[in-house]
Structure 1
Amino acid sequence: MRIGELSDRTGASPRSLRYYEQQGLIESHRSGNGWRGYDEEAVRRVRNIRMLLDSGLTVADLLPLAPCLGLDLDPEHCHRALEIYRRRLGELDRRISDLNGHRDRLVRRLGGA
């Protein structure tokens, strides 16, 4: 399938798809005219990429998971996933705590105004 169809089927923009390919998260083959072509596995890989990015992971977090992106991302099937999920969860918890502290300080300032 061509990049437009992959975009339509996954909701990822063609620009994002080219970026994912540049980062090594998906692969394409080139046709005789130089156009990118993708196989069916690319659909699942891109859907997994988008789900993980929407869950708070970064593209850098996904790089070690690249071999698993076409599979079920359950930690049972992709052992690196559990480690990455735990690390990212810890980072998110720290950010939430920081944001709550900022919020509390603003609430106090509003109460004193």
Structure 2
Amino acid sequence: MDTGNHRLRIEFVDITGMLLRSEDISPFNALVEAAKARVQADGTGTFDFADLGYGGSIQFTCDDADACYQSIADLLAASPLAEGATAELIYGCEDDADRQQIAIGVTA
């Protein structure tokens, strides 16, 4: 798939904290791999990066941020890592692009 003009960024809350506490981050890595595989299989985007800093994040580039999010929404909703996380749908490649934030998990 060609790199699109939209982006999907998933912002987690405590992946960095897991690292600092020397906890196993393999669930995060597994979620990243599952999301990458789903987006590729569905043809809805291209994996950009996964970042363990600032709480943790995953980013995809896509032609349609809504379609990209919908292709992995069930994976995110099923993951305990998504508690308190947000999905940021970015409709353009510029810093001033329109954005929509979606709460994925709710904090207790």
Q: Could you state the TM-score of these two structures normalised by the residue count of structure 1?
A: 0.22
RCO comparison, higher one (Cα < 8 Å, 6+): 2
Q: Which has the larger radius of gyration?
A: 1
Determine which structure has the larger strand proportion and give its number. 2
